[in-house]
Structure 1
Amino acid sequence: MAITAQMVKELREMSGAGMMDAKKALTENDGNMEAAIDWLRTKGLAKAAKKADRIAAEGLVGVAVVGGKGVAVEVNSETDFVAKNADFQKLVSSITAAALNTATVEELAAADMGGKSVDDAITSAVAVIGEKLSLRRMELVEGDTVASYVHNAAADGMGKIGVLVAVKGADNGIAKQIAMHIAATAPLALSEADLDPVLVERERAVQTQKALEENETAAKPKPAAVIENNIIPGRMKKFLEENTLLGQKFVMNPDITVGQAAKDAGVEVTAFKRVAVGEGIEKKEEDFAAEVAKTLAG
């Protein structure tokens, strides 16, 4: 497969690797981007790449909680200017309120909102606001108590990141603190049992290959048993601690984990959702100078 300059550029942005290393990684893996990232990581040339690093779309996340139910809704716009628009914010607020009576984004799109469906309301808003708008997703959390947190708030109940946390037991404020923690750390799952097994095995493969290659160049190579029984389990334990909510060090008190903080507060975290605007959407690259020139020429 031919390796293009654009592919090398994209891999460099995703991994932080140098140009020649990125090109070699793509060449060695026949242009497969994910495999190239893993190859770079085994060589110690890249960080773990997260799709969330490629956030691009604009808009707002609205959150609302009533009793033991919380919803988070993402509504996208083309530019960040619209996110600051009062009409757009009113639209997001109304859609979020309607979401409390639905269970899926499909139900929400068809739900009544002032005499018209949410879908139709968005279509009408496009004509007023002047940009393409879209209802992208909705997340739902239920529990004895649900707490919410909005990061980078643009208005009450909406911002760039919305978090919901459900706990079992009498909440004394710890749920809100955990929601703030989630906004900052973006855990992949609640616990080890909730992690995607494919993701875990992929990480294990990367760490195993990396350890073997490091061992080959070490001044005093370690026995294979040490790598298999000590080094790899140690690295996987760290991976799980960093990527599962209950295993992470609590930002409010790094001496304990989130799981321990919840236990000390007499509650059990049963679910969470973190929604960031544009998460996982790759933004179209635009040449601003060319765009200006095109406008002037027109």
Structure 2
Amino acid sequence: FINFVKELSELNNLSESCVKKLNVSKMHNGKTVNENLVSLIAKVGEKITIGRTKTISHPGAKNFVYHHTVVKYNLSKLAAVASLETKEKSEKLDLFGKQLTMHIASSNPIALDSESIQKEILEKEQELISEELKNSGKPEKIVKKISIGKLNKFVEENSLLSQAWVMEPKKKVKDVINELKINDLKIKDYYRLKIGE
């Protein structure tokens, strides 16, 4: 299983993170990923599916990775990666990159900033909030204010830059970035993967 996953990871980078392309890619033994997956399922007796894949590659950026509950060879049940762009090479950047990926693994942001949250997600959250407040018995004006406040809180808690920093919750991620005083630092991309999601 571990060798299968390691080879799968290498193939993923060649297939541009497309599950369909990945499934028909040839592995070292000449069989496709899908064929090997069927054999592996028969061997271990567990249902195994490839749900999501991600390749992060930005020229000039450095990728930082965090693995939680490592099984073996950088294979884990939860992993996060962040791609940071800057000309600076320093220990404080490396420490921040490591801490940022730990933060992403722990906090599971859905977007980099509030503007990046998909409209559909906001609409769904607004529906849930409206449903929750529908039978509150409060005046419509008050319900509207509460609704706006709850939606703003949702956005803040789910946007990476506005989340409370896991290492020091009184600060936001964007505050920690500003304190680094690395003028050209940009978070180019990030991703979080967890078994079963």
TM-score (normalised: structure 1): 0.55
2:62 is aligned, of 145, 149, 154, to 145
The answer on whether the counterparts of 1:191 and 1:244 sit within 8 Å (CA) in structure 2 is: yes
Which letter maps to 1:185? Answer: S
Who is 1:93 aligned against? 6
Give, in angstroms, the shift of residue 135 of structure 1. 2.9
The answer on whether the counterparts of 1:146 and 1:165 sit within 8 Å (CA) in structure 2 is: yes
The answer on whether the counterparts of 2:113 and 2:159 sit within 8 Å (CA) in structure 1 is: yes
- Matched residues in 2 for 1:209 and 1:100: separation? 43
Asked if 1:192 is matched to 2:105, the reply is no
Q: Which has the larger radius of gyration?
A: 1
Residue 209 and residue 133 in structure 1: after superposition, are their counterparts in 2 closer, same or farther (change >3 A)?
closer
Which letter maps to 1:151? Answer: H
Which letter maps to 2:114? Answer: E
SS at match of 2:196: coil
SS at match of 1:255: coil
Who is 1:275 aligned against? 193
- Matched residues in 1 for 2:5 and 2:132: separation? 46
Asked if 1:112 is matched to 2:112, the reply is no
Q: CA offsets per residue over residues 178-203 of structure 1, 9 Å max, x none?
A: 11111111122222122121221232
Give, in angstroms, the shift of residue 106 of structure 1. 2.1
1:254 is aligned, of 161, 169, 177, to 169
- Matched residues in 2 for 1:131 and 1:199: separation? 33
SS at match of 1:112: coil
Name the one with the larger strand percent: 1
Which letter maps to 1:192? Answer: S
Residue 211 and residue 156 in structure 1: after superposition, are their counterparts in 2 closer, same or farther (change >3 A)?
same
Runs of 4+ in 1 over 6 A off after TM superposition: none
Residue 232 and residue 141 in structure 1: after superposition, are their counterparts in 2 closer, same or farther (change >3 A)?
same
Asked if 1:204 is matched to 2:122, the reply is no
- Matched residues in 2 for 1:213 and 1:127: separation? 52
Which letter maps to 1:261? Answer: V
Which letter maps to 1:97? Answer: E
Residue 202 and residue 102 in structure 1: after superposition, are their counterparts in 2 closer, same or farther (change >3 A)?
closer
| Aligned CA-pair RMSD | 2.5
Who is 2:85 aligned against? 168
- Matched residues in 2 for 1:134 and 1:232: separation? 39
Who is 2:102 aligned against? 180
The answer on whether the counterparts of 2:163 and 2:173 sit within 8 Å (CA) in structure 1 is: yes
Who is 1:125 aligned against? 40
TM-score (normalised: structure 2): 0.79
Give the alignment of 1:232-247 within 5 angstroms: 232-247=147-162
The answer on whether the counterparts of 1:247 and 1:258 sit within 8 Å (CA) in structure 2 is: yes
- Matched residues in 2 for 1:271 and 1:118: separation? 27
Percent of matched pairs sharing the same residue:
24
Give, in angstroms, the shift of residue 210 of structure 1. 4.4
Residue 213 and residue 129 in structure 1: after superposition, are their counterparts in 2 closer, same or farther (change >3 A)?
closer
- Matched residues in 2 for 1:210 and 1:200: separation? 15
Please list every run of 5 or more consecutive structure 2 residues that lacks an aligned counterpart in the other structure: none
Give, in angstroms, the shift of residue 242 of structure 1. 1.0
Residue 123 and residue 212 in structure 1: after superposition, are their counterparts in 2 closer, same or farther (change >3 A)?
closer
The answer on whether the counterparts of 2:67 and 2:76 sit within 8 Å (CA) in structure 1 is: yes
